[in-house]
Amino acid sequence: MLAGLYDAPAEHDVHDFLITDAAHAAALLGAVGPPATDEQLLVAEDGEGLELSLYVDCQVLERLLGRCPLRELSDANLADYCTALEGVSHFHYLVWNAARARQVSLLELELQAEVDKYASALRLLLAQRGGRFPGELFERLFDRASFLPSLEPEQRARYEEAHRYAARFCRRLEERFLRRRQARPEAMVAELRAFYRLGRHAKLRHAELWR
């Protein structure tokens, strides 16, 4: 879905890198206990390249199988959808940029994932509701979002910054392409694809200044 949305096919299938067992993920992390979150991209880099695994907790995927968001996205499965989508976003964005020898910062990964969650959920809801605009989506993803209290100060600052910039960008997407008398979804997709290809500093400037 992300590859199609951004016209950015990745050279690797995320399913080949998926881990759903917490003990397996902990072993790769060298940690005593399970990962602190239900989703985590595990990255090891050396002079030869990248080694990747994507951990998404098995219970998240089991719940999504029972309430498939591709058939119906709602409050009942939105949180799990966003958890899984964030992991896939991180994987896809890192692989796509690595294939082009482009470095990616942690802030850039988080910012793109915030935009990906909104853009992909918006696309699903528009299709599932016959084109009716889901006015509650922005509030649900941005205004009512919260952060884990266990985050280190540096992590929390990064998540909050990514969240803030993504909220500005996505709000303007709504105002410019969807909330006016004549919606222009094709133009919104073009803007999303252009944003996807920007580097970290350009992304931040664009999210801050774009009108």
Following DSSP, what letter does each residue of 22-81 receive, concatenated? Answer: HHHHHHHHT-SS--SSSEEEEEEEETTEEEEEEEE-HHHHHHHHHS-TTT---TTTHHHH
pLDDT at 172 (0 to 100): 93
pLDDT at 126 (0 to 100): 93
At residue 59, what is the residue type?
A: Q
Q: Is 95 helix (H, G, I), strand (E, B) or coil?
A: helix
pLDDT at 144 (0 to 100): 86
Which residues in the chain come in under a pLDDT of 50? none
Give pLDDT tens digits for 22-81: 999 999 988 888 888 899 999 988 877 889 999 999 999 999 999 999 999 999 999 999
Q: What is the value of pTM for the model shown?
A: 0.93
Following DSSP, what letter does each residue of 126-165 receive, concatenated? Answer: HHHTTT---TTHHIIIIIT----TT--HHHHHHHHHHHHH
Closest C-alpha to 41, from 95, 101, 117 = 95
pLDDT at 114 (0 to 100): 97
pLDDT at 181 (0 to 100): 67
Give residues with Cβ within 8 angstroms of 117, minimum separation 6.
82, 85, 86, 89, 141
Q: 43: which strand partners?
A: 52
